[in-house]
Amino acid sequence: MKTFLKKVAAQSPWLYRINAGSCNGCDVELATTACISRYDVERLGCKYCGSPKHADIVLITGPMTTRVKEKVLRLYAEIPDPKVTVAVGICPISCGVFRDSYAIEGPIDKYFPVDINVPGCPPRPQAIIEGIAEAISVWRTRL
């Protein structure tokens, strides 16, 4: 029974989005991957979920801000292993234009490992889809 569940789960990874303090530009582009058929993640067999406890792949936008740091770390800890982390946009990678702000704690890889980087400000939906497709292959190897 356990191998059957592994096989079924490997076909449909669930995505969870975390905003670590972004300007919402990347979040708007992520929204296109959920509602526009041309860039729909369901074509890859993925679905967005509302709970971190059900997630397989986490998509993180924005630099780590002081205000949400504890909440982001708590949400990330709730995501079960094996999980794949995708940094969407330039801010989670290098903090972007916010890098010298007093409210920025640093890039997210300072707090947890990042598997896939999708650069851009904001990245185009095609790049996000490519990053998710790469995350799916990484996730399947970890099962």
State which amino acid sits at residue 26. C
Crossing angle of helices 125-142 and 25-35, in 10° steps, is: 70
Question: Which has the higher per-residue pLDDT, 143 or 107?
Answer: 107
Instruction: Give CA 40 to chain center in angstroms.
Output: 15
With a cut of 70, say whether residue 7 has pLDDT above it.
Answer: no
Across all residues in the chain, what is the average pLDDT? 90
In this prediction, residue 24 carries a pLDDT of: 92
Give the tens place of pLDDT for each residue, 51-72: 999 999 999 999 999 999 999 9
In this prediction, residue 2 carries a pLDDT of: 54
> Where do the structural domains in the chain lie, given as residue ranges?
11-142
Give the tens place of pLDDT for each residue, 71-106: 999 999 999 999 999 999 999 999 999 999 999 999
CA gap 98, 54 in Å, rounded: 31
In this prediction, residue 35 carries a pLDDT of: 81
Nearest to 16 by CA among 115, 71, 84, 73: 84
Give Rg (Cα) of the chain: 15
Residue 7 burial by CB count (10 A; 0-12/13-18/19+): exposed, middle or buried?
exposed
The mean pLDDT value for 45-52 works out to 93
Contact 115, 84 (CB under 8 A): yes
With a cut of 60, say whether residue 4 has pLDDT above it.
Answer: no
State the CATH architecture for 11-142: 3-Layer(aba) Sandwich (3.40)
In this prediction, residue 3 carries a pLDDT of: 58
In this prediction, residue 38 carries a pLDDT of: 80
With a cut of 90, say whether residue 143 has pLDDT above it.
Answer: no
